[in-house]
Amino acid sequence: MAREQFSKIAYKTLQQGKSIAGLAHKELSSRIMNFILPDNEISNFNLDKNLLIQIQNSMELLREEDWRDAERNIYPIKLLFDEPWLRYLTQYPKIWLDMPNIWNRRRKENYEDLPKSVDKDNYPRYYLRNFHHQTDGYLSDFSASIYDLQVEILFNGTADAMRRRIIKPIKEGLINFSDRKKSSINIIDVATGSGRTLKQLRGAFPNEKIKGIDLSGSYLKEASRYISDLDGDLIELIMGNAEELPFENDSIQAISCVYLFHELPRTIREKVLKEFFRVLEKNGTLVIADSIQISDSPEFIQIMEDFYKTFHEPFYCDYIKDDINSKIKEVGFNNVKSSSFFMTKVWSAIK
């Protein structure tokens, strides 16, 4: 018991430390930018005291939920302490060195600044841009090499705790297939990025077949490096489009999809939902995690507005108002549920 209490305190201290580091970085970088480029003034995320208290409370609830799920063995406690410090250490100077490029891109409203070598015919139009003013968009090894830490800073160190919210609904959904061998269960993570969600999934599902799909070869290479030393069966990485998944009808038992939907135009969101429905087997589970929305987190509307004003996120403004619950039902899913955890909303549904 004393050991558990000690681990819980250690976990919360680690999370608070990451939160302070993330806030300090954001404050310092926006001050420097506003000093160097005063005409480029961006939101300093000047949040009033009440909102700051709500943010703190919401983060605390997330940490509690994360700890409780680990205590209930939904995933191992060690996942909560699994921080790639060495990776962060190599990524952090690159983030600073890249910052002037990001400021410039923002100032010039240059959103299609992609590497010349990119064959544009291979990607959908909406994808060929610098989301978040990111250097090379999603289309270079450099971008992939700093993405994780950028997200970690954006969410004040809570990114993995929010990603882990997908695990409980997947576990609950997979009870529908509990008569099968675990090694015959297919879980796919769509728009897997640089592998953070895959690592959480492998921790919780050591024996199931896990596959990660993404449009970016560079992000998949980064994912491959990140997950290569994980225990359990090899995780397959596939370059592919969420709109046309490379799987047979009714062949998958669980799908996760983290932080993709806010970067898709509305019609594509609907297309992707249909595609999820097609590949899932009857009684299979869909779990989507993405940004909170206005309907259920109105207290954070200022943060949502600051986000799309500060970063290049052309589909976000529409996303935060989109009735995704209804769309999931419209394509044929049942038991549609949703809940929000700090800055992330999680939907689950059964085919």
Ligand X SMILES: C[S@@+](CC[C@H](N)C(=O)[O-])C[C@H]1O[C@@H](n2cnc3c(N)ncnc32)[C@H](O)[C@@H]1O
Q: What is the DSSP letter of 186?
A: E
Complete DSSP assignment for 110-152: ------TT--GGGS-GGGSS-GGG-TTTT-SHHHHHHHHHHHH
> Looking at 258, 286, 292, 346, which residue binds ligand X (CB under 6 A)?
258
Nearer to ligand X, 215 or 303 (CB): 215
Per-residue contact string for residues 145-184; x = within reach of ligand X by CB under 6 A: ------x-----------x---------------------
Residues 6+ apart with CB under 8 A from 338: 296, 324, 325, 345, 346, 347, 348
127 near ligand X (CB under 6 A)? yes
263 near ligand X (CB under 6 A)? yes
Restricted to residues 294-313, the positions that interact with ligand X (CB under 6 A) are: none
Residues 6+ apart with CB under 8 A from 294: 301, 304, 320, 321
Residues 6+ apart with CB under 8 A from 248: 279
Restricted to residues 180-219, the positions that interact with ligand X (CB under 6 A) are: 191-193, 196-197, 214-216, 219
Q: Which residues pair with 334 in a beta bridge?
A: 350
Q: What is the DSSP letter of 244?
A: B
Structure tokens at 49: 């005291």
Contact 149, 92 (CB under 8 A): yes
Nearer to ligand X, 158 or 197 (CB): 197
> Looking at 241, 291, 293, 344, which residue binds ligand X (CB under 6 A)?
241
Restricted to residues 87-126, the positions that interact with ligand X (CB under 6 A) are: 124
Residue nearest ligand X by beta-carbon distance: 193
Contact 64, 72 (CB under 8 A): no
Q: How many residues of this chain bind ligand X (CB under 6 A)?
A: 21
Nearer to ligand X, 145 or 177 (CB): 145
Per-residue contact string for residues 310-339; x = within reach of ligand X by CB under 6 A: ------------------------------
259 near ligand X (CB under 6 A)? yes
Residues that bind ligand X (CB under 6 A): 124, 127, 138, 151, 163, 191-193, 196-197, 214-216, 219, 241-243, 258-260, 263
